[in-house]
């Protein structure tokens, strides 16, 4: 197990190296000169050259890249063109907002999708099943920003129960954090719940037709035991992947939702960095997202081995 984790971490490092290279090269292709943008109306040739030299932008690309890499290894991802603050700090301070939104959204989604998916599979063709299908069709086809706007109109505009936007850190005031996270998490979570419900339903249906489920019924076990012990556990194996992919993509920041709800997460940061051509920040954000993706994948592989004894981690 420990060897498996170490090997996977080493592999992840290689992937991250690739990510830095791709992002670095892509940014060279983007039109527009960040130093010009940073200077704006204060532009004059001397300051321009001086600033370029200070950022190392006058060096050859290869030198720039290795320079970046060398400093990245020590945790220094450069400084923001816009604010002059270290990128590492900027990116990390956005992490709690994104993390708390993503986790809340996924928990919310699972709380809806598991009961709904399980019941609609066991009672397939019933009213609950049809309702679940309408719900998930709705969730995947209606755009999330529209749902978000409707949510704001209803819950903060008409009812006045929740703040329309903004962020309070969980560590600062859990109660106010909860009231702020509710709307964006529900908006994002509803989409995830729709996808998950469909997936859980079809996975359950597939397992329900397995011979070993008939064996369990032949033993005279209660329906609850058959469903929870025999069906659900097997049905979970493919579902875990979907949950993980959803979680990972939410950790990458839900740009539209974060912008809509003024949520200061990674998505919002990426959006602002692109708008301001703040390349160091953009690079840092992408790197962090890639690292989170790899981490979630590693956790999924470990979880797989726990769920399915046929898989061993070596």
Partner 1 sequence: MKPVLAVEDLTVTIGTRRGPAHAVAGVDWAVQPGETLALVGESGSGKSMSVLAATGLAPRTARVTGRVHLLGTELTGLGQDRRRRLRGRHIGFVFQDPMTSLNPVLTVGRQVTEAAEEHLGLTRRAARSRAVELLEMVGIPSAGQRVDAYPHQFSGGMRQRVVIAMALACEPDLLIADEPTTALDVTTQAQIVELVADLQRRLGTAVVWITHDLGVVAGIADTVAVMYAGRILEQGPVDAVFGTPSHPYTEALLAARPDPAAGGAELVTIAGAPPSPLDLPAGCAFWPRCPVRGDARCEHELPPLVPVSAGHQVRTFYPQPTDGERR
- Cβ distance 246 to 192 under 8 Å? yes
Based on CB atoms, which residue is closest to partner 1, 99 or 221?
221
Question: Is residue 211 a contact residue for partner 1 (CB under 8 A)?
Answer: yes
Distance CA 168, CA 254 (A): 18
Query: Which of 218, 224, 275, 314 is close enough to bind partner 1 by CB under 8 A?
Result: 218
Distance CA 208, CA 37 (A): 60
Question: Is residue 314 a contact residue for partner 1 (CB under 8 A)?
Answer: no
Question: Is residue 129 a contact residue for partner 1 (CB under 8 A)?
Answer: no
- Cβ distance 180 to 242 under 8 Å? no
Question: Is residue 214 a contact residue for partner 1 (CB under 8 A)?
Answer: yes
- Cβ distance 271 to 285 under 8 Å? no
C-alpha angle 62-68-72 in degrees, rounded to nearest 5: 145
Runs of H (alpha helix) within the chain: 2-29, 34-39, 45-54, 61-73, 87-122, 127-141, 144-151, 174-208, 211-218, 223-225, 233-251, 255-260, 266-275, 279-307
Q: For partner 1, which stretch binds (CB under 8 A), given 91-99, 220-228, 249-257, 268-276? A: 220-228
Number of other CB atoms surrounding residue 291 within 10 Å? 16
Residue 151 has which token pair? 């949510």
Q: For partner 1, which stretch binds (CB under 8 A), given 33-41, 154-162, 226-234, 267-275? A: 226-234
Q: For partner 1, which stretch binds (CB under 8 A), given 88-96, 177-185, 186-194, 206-214? A: 206-214
Q: For partner 1, which stretch binds (CB under 8 A), given 51-59, 88-96, 147-155, 304-312? A: 304-312
SS3 123: coil
Query: Which of 15, 17, 225, 228 is close enough to bind partner 1 by CB under 8 A?
Result: 225
Q: For partner 1, which stretch binds (CB under 8 A), given 75-83, 106-114, 214-222, 288-296? A: 214-222
Based on CB atoms, which residue is closest to partner 1, 188 or 227?
227
Question: Is residue 310 a contact residue for partner 1 (CB under 8 A)?
Answer: yes
Rounded to the nearest whole angstrom, what is the least distance from the CB of residue 219 to partner 1 in the complex?
A: 4
Based on CB atoms, which residue is closest to partner 1, 186 or 207?
207
Query: Which of 216, 227, 251, 288 is close enough to bind partner 1 by CB under 8 A?
Result: 216
Please count the CA atoms within 13 angstroms of the CA of 207 that sit on its side-chain side. Answer: 23
Distance CA 145, CA 162 (A): 17
User: Euclidean distance between the first and final Cα of the chain, in Å?
Assistant: 6
For residue 155, give the nearest of 147, 145, 163 by alpha carbon. 163
Query: Which of 40, 60, 84, 220 is close enough to bind partner 1 by CB under 8 A?
Result: 220
Question: Is residue 42 a contact residue for partner 1 (CB under 8 A)?
Answer: no
Binding mask 235-274 for partner 1 (x = CB under 8 A): ----------------------------------------
Question: Is residue 228 a contact residue for partner 1 (CB under 8 A)?
Answer: no
Binding site for partner 1 (CB under 8 A): 210-212, 214-222, 225, 229-230, 233-234, 307-310
């Amino acid at each position: 197990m420990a060897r498996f984790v170490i090997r996977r971490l080493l592999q992840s490092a290689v992937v991250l190296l690739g990510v830095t290279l791709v992002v670095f090269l892509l940014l060279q292709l983007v039109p527009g000169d960040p130093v010009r943008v940073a200077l704006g109306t204060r532009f004059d040739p001397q300051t321009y050259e001086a600033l370029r030299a200070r950022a190392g932008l006058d060096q050859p690309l290869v030198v720039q890249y290795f320079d970046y890499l060398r400093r990245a290894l020590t945790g220094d991802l450069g400084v923001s063109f816009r604010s002059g603050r270290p990128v590492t700090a900027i990116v990390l301070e956005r992490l709690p907002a994104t993390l708390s939104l993503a986790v809340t959204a996924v928990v919310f989604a699972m709380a809806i999708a598991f009961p709904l998916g399980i019941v609609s599979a066991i009672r397939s063709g019933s009213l609950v099943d049809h309702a679940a299908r309408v719900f998930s069709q709705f969730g995947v086809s209606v755009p999330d920003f529209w749902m978000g706007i409707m949510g704001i109109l209803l819950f903060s505009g008409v009812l006045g129960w929740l703040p329309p936007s903004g962020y309070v850190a969980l560590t600062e005031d859990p109660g106010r954090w909860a009231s702020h996270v509710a709307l964006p998490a529900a908006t994002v979570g509803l989409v995830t719940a729709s996808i998950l419900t469909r997936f859980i339903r079809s996975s359950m249906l597939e397992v329900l037709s397995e011979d070993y489920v008939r064996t369990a019924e032949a033993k005279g076990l209660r329906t609850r035991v058959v469903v929870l012990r025999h069906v659900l556990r097997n049905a979970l194996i493919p579902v875990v992947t979907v949950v993980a992919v959803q979680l990972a993509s939410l950790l990458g920041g839900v740009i539209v939702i974060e912008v809509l709800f003024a949520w200061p997460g990674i998505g919002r940061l990426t959006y602002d960095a692109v708008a301001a051509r703040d390349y160091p920040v953009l690079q840092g954000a992408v790197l962090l997202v890639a690292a989170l993706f790899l981490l979630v994948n590693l956790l999924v592989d470990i979880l797989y081995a726990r769920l399915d004894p046929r898989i061993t981690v070596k």
